[in-house]
Structure 1
Amino acid sequence: MAVGEFQLINPRTEDRPIKPDVEYDWLESQTPECLKWARQESQLTADRFDHLPRSKMIEQEMQALVSSAVRTPSFWVWGRHLFRIRQDNVNERGILERCARVNDTSPKEDDWRVVIDIDELGRKENRVFEFHSHMECCLFGPDADRLLLMLSDGGSDLVELREIDARTGQLIDGGFHTPSGRITVSWLDIDHLLISHTIYGGPKTAGDWPAASYIWQRGSDLKNVKAVFTAEPTDAIAGVCSLGPTDSGRAIINRVVDFSTFIYYIVSLDGSVEELPGLPTGSSMVLPRPTTSEYLFISLSKETVVRGKAVPAGSLIAYDVSTDQPGEERLSIVYEPEEEEVNLHLWINGLRASNSRIHFAMSKRGAEKKMVFENQNGEWQLVHSVPTSTGSRVTIVAADCYSDDTIICESGLLCPLTYWLEDEEGKKTLLYAEKSAFDASEFILRQMTTNSEDGTEIDYLVLSPRVPKHDQGKAPVLMTGYGAYGISMPTSYLNSMLGGISLVPWLNSGGSLVIPFIRGGGERGEAWHQAARQEKRQKSYDDFIAVAETIVRDGFTTPKHLGVYGSSSGGLLSAIMCIQRPKLFGAVVSDVPLTDMLRYTLMGMGGAWIYEHGDPKDPEMAKVLRAYSPFHNIQDRMNYPPCLVTISTNDDRVGPGHGRKFAAKIKDAGASNFYFFEDDSGGHSVSDSFKNTKLLVRRLVFFIETLQ
């Protein structure tokens, strides 16, 4: 079907003029009027897509994939026990299971014992629960007999806390329990938690996170507990985490001042709070915080003098929390990266601490190695350095605070995920090997380079059929990107940021995938991130445009067959592509996006992102933000490409207002091919291939019908 034939209903009429920007602000709310508007617009979109000829065929293919594919489990190692969350088409929300480790052999399916079935719990309570526990902080003691179960209702970032027996799944009589709220928590000992929350009111940070932290004793009323620490209201976020083993009697409070400045405090069981003296504040975000009972580890975000020596950004630093020495003397250098060497996975699963070691992976020009360091006689020594296989990446998904065992994952765009339990000697035991969802031999992966508008070299990956299914120069192509917060684009198998399992029908239909590594991300380290922050943000979008122009100029595809997809900050990117370069793209999907950059701080937890985007209250910064803000740059009667915006009503991270306002305004401007769909649950992860297959089917139908 040609692009010109793929038109939506709802053309602009004279009695529906484009309005002043402020007249769309009502769509940020959750009033009945607003929700009615969202339902009506969503129904129009569903009616249009669900009856197209290819819709049933694609839905059958997706349902077959979801039914046959077992979603890759999440794994944790804790002393002599393993835990996993197993999900499939029957258990969409997941089953938490555990098994005992015996003789370092691979566990059999019969070895796993159910702790709690999240789907069944939701059915009993008429809720749509999601598992949100951070096991590193929520499991207790070497026997792993208690768990702080964190449950989200419908994918929201707000969670309810329940203390359960981690062997049986039963609620602990008289155990810790909270209503739903934004919570971070860690054990201090079996009868005390360190918890931050605003369940009953209390101060908040700029990002709408709890500012106050409390020591909560078993049996006491959380309403009456006094705060032991309160972060500043101008901080982006604040939270608590464990310090080594969860029965240590100590935990950490972390003030994220602005995503470039991190200040740490140790809280002891007696209520004392100590700011860590001499610890550099210029570090990168790492989740979870890597700690042992002796050390807190940070990755420097800028060149820093450590004990008289200038060390570069990206260096790994250890801070001794077990001594009373002066602050400077507590610091030690674990690793200084080589030139062009970077930790691609730093934010999540790129840096893990076990009982006495630190584990991470470094990449340089496509080659990657996993490294393990240990402190020996006061010096950090390399214990293991293992290169990964060509074309694959390794992440450290879990580490044991009671031993030096870890769980690692190896994967690539054409290589299904494999999970291993690795002991302190480097011996690996297979935990899980994902099955192939498509025939990798039918595809070819290439890394290419082009130049951005200012001459900067931009790398990008092209995944395409080895034997083209479409005429020369007419290859249907999806581009996707992110370009913010120093987060690297993933290159693992069917990663959710790339579309998850919904990529399979696209690839099988002859489609290609292009992944540009644009500025703002972390592919070349912190300097790459800084190169597109705040007033330099447009450079990130220029990089993406340069790659799109290159693959068109080189004859790989045409604008008519070129689509763009992005989620969250990637949703902002894709919305910008729609507005800035409407003739360069044939279709756009913007998932849970930011679009109003002059009001982003007022929606969701947007107040936490000022360091990244800038403060719209600053007149000069407001000019920069308005210049690329998709919502503000919609033009009347412009011929925009077909576009689909997907959001969730209960997305409390970005907020649904961005997507709604963008959709309403662009339709008022005369766009006759603009689609909007709002799901009532799913949160910021609404586009989940397993949990929301129907939404992904609509997105696939949109792309295939439009671009092929």
Structure 2
Amino acid sequence: MDPHQWLEDVAGDDALDWVRERNALTVVEYGSSDDFVSLRDDLLAIYDADDRIPVVRARGERLYNFWRDGEHPRGLWRRTTLDEYRKSSPLWETVLDLDALCEAEGENWVWHGADVLRPDHRRALISLSRGGADADVTREFDLETLSFVDDGFFRPESKGGLSWIDDDTVFLVAADGPEAVNLAGYGRRVRQWRRGTPIESAEVVFEGPADNNGYGIYPGRDHAEGFERDLLVHYLDSRDTALYVRAIGELGFTKVEAPDSASKDVHGQWLTIELREPWTVGAVTYPAGALLVARFDEWLSGDRRTLEMVFEPTETTSLVGVTYTRSHLVLNVLDDVKNALVVLTHGGGGWSRRPLEGVPEFGTIAVSAVDGDESDGLWLSVNDYLTPPSLLLGSADAVAPAPEVLKSQPAMFDASRHVAEQHFVVSLDGTRVPYFLVRPKDAPFDGSTPTLLYGYGGFEIPLLPGYSGGIGKGWLEKGGAYVVANIRGGSEYGPRWHQAALRQNRHRAYEDFAAVARDLVTSGLTSPAHLGMMGGSNGGLLAGNMLTQYPEMFGAIVIRVPLLDMQRYHTLLAGASWMAEYGDPDDPADWEFIQGFSPYHLFDAGREYPPTLIMTSTRDDRVHPGHARKFMAKMLEAGKDVRYYENIEGGHGGAADNSQAARMDALYLTFLWRHLAG
């Protein structure tokens, strides 16, 4: 029996007393000094700065934005017009003041987003979470009167959602009882709910199996003119999905025939299929990582003749994003973890391609459609480690002018003394692994530079260069170096990069990370005493494995919202949905390899470990805070050099507002700097 299992009682009095005691000790040691207070205040000023670029979404004639600052810590949902948005100081109309709502209702609401009714944009379904948990409520809001609708649609708190079908009908997914959830705690039924009827009477139109362990079910109406229909995505685990469709007015859904492992999407007349595994159709085998396009109606009828491969990966290229506009597909391609945008257009001779002109050559480029199927407009966001973000408004149309720079964010830290570089290292099995290094230009290469190494390595998530005011102010500006490792488990080189570190091959991600750490020392930039690392969530599992398997390589380690007990992870909150990634601990064959990367079981009380800070959130209902608590208890029991901090709010992101984020970030940066900079 695990003696620390009592700490899995998330809100239990004894467990929370233990948490508060640990928190208090950490605050006394690191969270009350002048250097901490100064950094916390600097970070909060950055996170609350008025000159940040407001991210917008077009809904009809208006652009909507959710905004937090010092006066509105919980945030404002607001809107403006494109003409106003072009101005340096746009005039915003407040739609919902979340701070005022929290005060009026005595709640600690955290914004989770809004689904705006199409095509007239008169109503919205707003999702709000208590304290930042994944579980939330949904309430109907009138965008003309700017008030919640009396007796409108309301979904009680659970993991699920509401989405519009039409003015008087919604799709309802709710994890509202034992019989309504899958193994991972997500709703497994889709119900169609008519306005004015009891929620209990909503008719079930789709039901997934009770033993499914996926991320849930996501239905919605496709409003593309001339192609209106209902679509539904059913997650089978953390990766695989099934896509379903039904015509307007029908009750049941029909599965779209395509591999479950593929990512599938529909836009207008087109079906796209992004392969994670090779797939043979007729006499042709398409490779993993390829993007296929077919005419959707013909595909549903069984006609495969329109299927065409519009992207084929190479050893260095992968597809990181596909954006639909009214008339084009825009592909975001990585080549050795560097972006390029390609526009695809269908004509009489099939699909043609051309680069998107006028896009900056530097940095990471993120692209999204301005308004989906209503125009060819594109939002383009460009930044890198040392260059603040710029927002451009462009078009996928070939005759459109060059993208227009709408917003440029001022610098949040002094980057003049640093340089950003890309390097490659060979991992234990001979694989070439890239990493990005941001270092002082005058780094002495005598092993003395305080260096923070970050990684993730899971769930097909790529780590691309990005500007961080927090890292810049709290680490780089002090003279530190910052490193991001593109280890296997992500998708920097497509599906193969992810699959190379799945299940019994998880160790490869850790070997890659260790290879990067060694290279930083071998180069002379830093040394183990000055090298620290941090990871969160799956990256917290990475950090736990660096601590337990490679402790001699680091001078300090930060473990955030982590998975650590891999014997019980699948029984805690959403853990069952990750078994495709890690394996099933209840299967003896799987447990044989899982225990090899379970930090809770790899911990050796007789071994020396570097100073460690473990951080989590009480309200994290995705990765259970019990992982962090139990590991802390085990390290503390063995007398190790370890600290702990658990934010009582925050969800999986760790913080519910900017002030909490500033406090958490200042805490770990202060901890690292003291131990690594001497």
TM-score > 0.5 by shorter chain: yes
Give the equivalent residue in structure 1 for 2:380.
Answer: 408
From 263, 279, 292, the counterpart of 1:304: 279
Deviation (angstroms), 1:108? 5.5
Alignment of 1:279 onto 2:269: no
User: Which residue identity does 1:417 align to in structure 2?
Assistant: P
Give the equivalent residue in structure 1 for 2:658.
Answer: 690
Q: What's the RMSD between the two structures over aligned residues?
A: 2.5
Deviations 1:643-698 (A, max 9, x none): 01110001001111110011001111221x20011111000011578241222221
Q: Is the 8 A contact 1:688 1:696 kept in 2?
A: no
Q: How far apart in 2 are the matches of 1:622 and 1:475? A: 40
User: Which residue identity does 1:316 align to in structure 2?
Assistant: L
Instruction: Quickly say closer, same or farther: Cα 1:244–1:517, change in 2 above 3 A.
Output: same
Unaligned runs of 5+ in 1: 1-19, 495-499
From 609, 614, 632, the counterpart of 1:645: 614
Which region of structure 1 is more displaced relative to structure 2, 61-70 or 37-46?
Answer: 61-70
Give the equivalent residue in structure 2 for 1:207.
Answer: 184
Give the equivalent residue in structure 2 for 1:488.
Answer: 462
Alignment of 1:448 onto 2:423: yes
Q: How far apart in 2 are the matches of 1:195 and 1:341? A: 42
- Give me the TM-score of the superposition, normalised by structure 1: 0.89
Same amino acid, percent of matched pairs: 28
Give the equivalent residue in structure 2 for 1:547.
Answer: 516
Deviations 1:568-607 (A, max 9, x none): 1111111111111111101010100000011110112110
Alignment of 1:467 onto 2:442: yes
From 54, 73, 80, the counterpart of 2:54: 73
Q: Is the 8 A contact 2:328 2:396 kept in 1?
A: no
Q: Is the 8 A contact 1:262 1:282 kept in 2?
A: yes
Q: Is the 8 A contact 1:290 1:351 kept in 2?
A: no
Deviations 1:269-291 (A, max 9, x none): 5352232343232214xxxx753
From 229, 233, 244, the counterpart of 2:206: 229
User: Which residue identity does 1:681 align to in structure 2?
Assistant: E
Q: Is the 8 A contact 1:187 1:246 kept in 2?
A: no
Give the equivalent residue in structure 2 for 1:113.
Answer: 93
Q: Is the 8 A contact 1:267 1:274 kept in 2?
A: yes
Q: How far apart in 2 are the matches of 1:577 and 1:360? A: 36
Deviation (angstroms), 1:122? 1.8
Alignment of 1:589 onto 2:555: no
Deviations 1:105-163 (A, max 9, x none): 82553443221122222222222222212x5xx11123322211111111111111111
Q: Is the 8 A contact 1:519 1:528 kept in 2?
A: yes
Q: How far apart in 2 are the matches of 1:168 and 1:490? A: 42
Q: How far apart in 2 are the matches of 1:324 and 1:686? A: 44
From 68, 75, 78, the counterpart of 1:87: 68
Instruction: Quickly say closer, same or farther: Cα 1:246–1:179, change in 2 above 3 A.
Output: farther
Deviations 1:442-477 (A, max 9, x none): 211111111111121111111011123x78321000
Q: How far apart in 2 are the matches of 1:158 and 1:520? A: 27
Deviation (angstroms), 1:230? 0.7
Give the equivalent residue in structure 2 for 1:422.
Answer: 394
Give the equivalent residue in structure 1 for 2:643.
Answer: 675
User: Which residue identity does 1:451 align to in structure 2?
Assistant: V
**Mapping of residues 93-492 of structure 1, within 5 Å:** 93-102=74-83, 106-107=86-87, 109-133=89-113, 138-199=115-176, 202-235=179-212, 236-245=214-223, 250-284=229-263, 290-306=265-281, 308-322=283-297, 326-329=301-304, 332-333=307-308, 335-340=310-315, 342-343=317-318, 346=320, 350-377=321-348, 379-382=350-353, 385-386=356-357, 388-401=359-372, 402-425=374-397, 426-427=400-401, 428-468=403-443, 472-492=446-466
Give the equivalent residue in structure 1 for 2:473.
Answer: 504
**Mapping of residues 548-627 of structure 1, within 5 Å:** 548-627=517-596
User: Which residue identity does 1:382 align to in structure 2?
Assistant: R
Deviations 1:543-576 (A, max 9, x none): 1011111111221111111100111111111111
Deviation (angstroms), 1:70? 4.6
2:562 aligned counterpart, secondary structure: coil
Instruction: Quickly say closer, same or farther: Cα 1:145–1:356, change in 2 above 3 A.
Output: farther
Q: How far apart in 2 are the matches of 1:241 and 1:399? A: 22
Q: How far apart in 2 are the matches of 1:691 and 1:697? A: 10
Query: Could you say which structure has the greater relative contact order, defined with CA pairs below 8 angstroms and 6 or more residues apart?
Result: 1
1:652 aligned counterpart, secondary structure: coil
Deviation (angstroms), 1:168? 4.5
Q: How far apart in 1 are the matches of 2:560 and 2:665? A: 11
2:186 aligned counterpart, secondary structure: coil
User: Which residue identity does 1:177 align to in structure 2?
Assistant: F
Q: Is the 8 A contact 2:356 2:396 kept in 1?
A: no
User: Which residue identity does 2:447 align to in structure 1?
Assistant: G
Q: Is the 8 A contact 1:62 1:502 kept in 2?
A: no
Q: How far apart in 2 are the matches of 1:566 and 1:291? A: 35
Q: How far apart in 2 are the matches of 1:601 and 1:333? A: 39
Q: Is the 8 A contact 1:244 1:355 kept in 2?
A: no
User: Which residue identity does 2:139 align to in structure 1?
Assistant: R
Q: Is the 8 A contact 1:367 1:388 kept in 2?
A: no
- How many residue pairs are counted as aligned between the two chains? 669
Q: How far apart in 2 are the matches of 1:628 and 1:54? A: 36
Instruction: Quickly say closer, same or farther: Cα 1:365–1:700, change in 2 above 3 A.
Output: closer
Deviations 1:373-427 (A, max 9, x none): 2333583333653475343121124441322223221111122111223235344
Q: Is the 8 A contact 2:426 2:515 kept in 1?
A: yes
Q: How far apart in 2 are the matches of 1:149 and 1:688? A: 17
Q: How far apart in 2 are the matches of 1:322 and 1:392? A: 39
User: Which residue identity does 1:82 align to in structure 2?
Assistant: L
Instruction: Quickly say closer, same or farther: Cα 1:210–1:601, change in 2 above 3 A.
Output: same
**Mapping of residues 656-671 of structure 1, within 5 Å:** 656-671=625-640
Instruction: Quickly say closer, same or farther: Cα 1:193–1:519, change in 2 above 3 A.
Output: same
Instruction: Quickly say closer, same or farther: Cα 1:549–1:487, change in 2 above 3 A.
Output: same
2:157 aligned counterpart, secondary structure: coil
Q: How far apart in 2 are the matches of 1:581 and 1:261? A: 33
Deviation (angstroms), 1:531? 0.6
2:267 aligned counterpart, secondary structure: coil
Unaligned runs of 5+ in 2: none
